[in-house]
Amino acid sequence: MCSILGILDIRKDPESLRRLALELSLRQRHRGPDWSGIYADDRAVLAHERLAIVDPLGGAQPLLSPDGRYVLAVNGEIYNHQELRRDLPHHEFQTASDCEPILALHAASPADPVRWLETLNGIFAFVLHDRESGRWLAARDPVGVVPLYTGQDADGQRFFASEMKALTGVCHHIEQFPPGSFQTREMAAPTRYYAPSWREFTAVEGRPYEAASLRSALDAAVERQMMCDVPYGVLLSGGLDSSLIAALAARHARHRIETGGREEAWWPQLHSFAIGLAGSPDLEAAQLAADAIETVHHPFTFTLQEGLDALRSVIYHLETFDVTTVRASTPMFLLARRIKAMGIKMVLSGEGADEIFGGYLYFHKAPDARAFHEETVRKLDALHMFDCLRANKAMAAWGVEARVPYLDRKFLDMAMAFDPIEKMVRTGRMEKHLLRAAFDGVLPESILWRQKEQFSDGVGYGWIDGLRDHAARVVDERDLAAAAERFNHAPPTTAEGYLYRSTFEELFPGPAPAATVPGGKSIACSTPAALEWDASFAAAADPSGRAVDGVHKASYGGPKAS
C-alpha cells in the first residue's frame, strides 16, 4: 500500500516546494518502504512512496504517459487492469503496472473523467497532472478503501496526501476526500462519479435474491483480488467474514498449484494469521477454521500491557480518536508487524460484510426493511472513516497492504441490489443468515453459524475491559468533566474516549486535524440514526457488540434472551 503527496496550483518557488514535498512524503514512507519517486515542474509536485505488489521491478511512480504530457501518482490496485489494457490496443504501455491504464483512459477521454472512472474495479486514490495545461484530476475509489486527504495552505495552493499527518502544520484546512468522487482544478468541490441505483430503497424493494449468484460473485471477487507478484496471506479471525474469504482464497491457491497455472505469482501455500489475548474466542475459532480449510496458520498472542504500550503509536498511524477504531486497530497493528516480519506484503481481509448484510448485532432491532437498508447505506458511506481506515492504516503502518473482497465493486453492486428483507433478522434466523446459508458446507458449522463478534471483542473480552480500567486510572475526573470546554469538536464523554482524544491532540495539535475525525454516539458500531431503533440504545451506547442486551450471548446486561 503506497502513499502519494501532491502540491498543485503552485504559486511559490517551485524548488522550495519540491523540498517541502520530499519532507512531507517522508512522513508517509512506512506505507511504501520499497522506493521513492518525485516529479516536479513549475505548476505541480507529485511524490510517491512505493510498496511494490504488482510489477515490482517496473512499476515505479510517478508514471508518465508515452508522450510525457500526463503525470500520475496513485496509491491502489486496479483489479481489472488486464481487461482495460485489452480495450486500449493503441496505447503504448510502458510497464506491467496495474495502475498505468489510468493514464491511458484519461488520455483517451480527458474531458469526461466520469466516463472512464466508472470502468475501474479496484481500490485507489490518485492525482493526475497535465503538464501542458496545468489542469489536474484527483479521484478516490467507490467506498474509500484507500485513504486520501486534501487541504489548502495560506497561499491557496492545493495539497493531496494519503495520510493526514503529511498535511499538518502546512494546511490551515484539512478534510477527507470523499469516496467515489473526483475533482478537477476547475471544480470548487469533489463530485460523485459512483452513484449506484441501489442506494435508494425503492430501487431494490421486491428484487429477487439468488444464493448461487452471491456465491459466484464473492468467489470471483476473491480470485480477482489475489492478483499479486509477491508473497501474500489472509487475515483469519475465526469469524464468518474472514473465514469465508480465507476458504475461497485457499481453494484458488490449491487449484493453481494442482494445475500448474503460473499466470500470476500464486505462492505454494496460503498462510493465515490471527491474534488475540491468551485464550481469546478468536484464536480458538481461527485455528478450527484454518484446520478445516488447510492453511498454514500462524496464531499470535499479545498481552494487555503490550496493547496499552502501543496505543500512542496506533493513534499516530490511524489518525483517529474514535473509540471503536482504536480498540480494534491496536491488535491489528500488532499483528501487522508480525506479518511483515514473516515477509508477507499483502493480505486479504473481511471488512465490509457487516455493512452490506447488516451483520452488527444492533441490526436485530431494525424495525423494517427500509430502515435496515438505509442503515446499510449509511454504514457503507462511513466505512472510509472507520473499518476501511483501520484495515488500511493498521497494516500500512508496517508496509503491508490489506485488500477487502467484500467491497469489490462488482460484488458490492450485486449484494446491495436485492430486497433487503432477505437480509433481516427474523425468528429462527441470525444476523447474516443468507450469507451463512449460501456457503453451507464451506466451513465447519461452528464457524459458519458463529455469532457476530466485533474484532475488538473477539480478541478477548479482557481487552476492552482492560482499556476501560486503564483509562479510569490515568484520566482525571476533573479533566473529563471539563472535556466539552477543552474540545470543541467531538468532546469525549468517557475516560477511555478522553484518553484517545487527548493523545490525538498531543500528536496532531490544532482544529484542522481533529475535524477529519467523525463524532457521534454509537451502539455496537451503529450510526447515530440507528439509536432510535430501541429505547435502551441511547442509555447503553457503547461501540462494543456486548452493549446490545438480549442479543449478544455475553452482553453487559446479562445472558441472551431466549
Point out the residues that are catalytic.
2
Residues 6 or more apart in contact with residue 61 via CB below 8 angstroms: 2, 37, 48, 50, 72, 73, 74, 97, 99
The C-alpha cell 481487461 sits at: 83
**Cis amide bond preceding 420, omega within 30:** no
The grid coordinates listed for 428 are: 429462527
Q: In what order do the strands lie in the sheet with 136-140?
A: 63-64, 70-78, 122-130, 136-140, 181-184, 191-192
Separation between Cα atoms, residue 477 and residue 481, nearest integer Å = 6
Q: Are 183 and 191 in contact (CB under 8 A)?
A: yes
Residues 6 or more apart in contact with residue 79 via CB below 8 angstroms: 98, 121, 122, 224, 225, 227, 408
Rg for the chain (alpha carbons), in Å? Answer: 23
Quick one: DSSP state of residue 162?
A: S
The DSSP-derived string for 41-107 is: -SS-EEEEEE---SSTTT--SSEE-TTS-EEEEEEEEETTHHHHHHT-TTS---S--TTTHHHHHHH
In sequence order, what are the beta bridge partners of 234? 272, 348
Q: Are 390 and 319 in contact (CB under 8 A)?
A: no
Residues 6 or more apart in contact with residue 467 via CB below 8 angstroms: 307, 308, 327, 496
Phi, psi of 232 (to 5 degrees): -135, 170
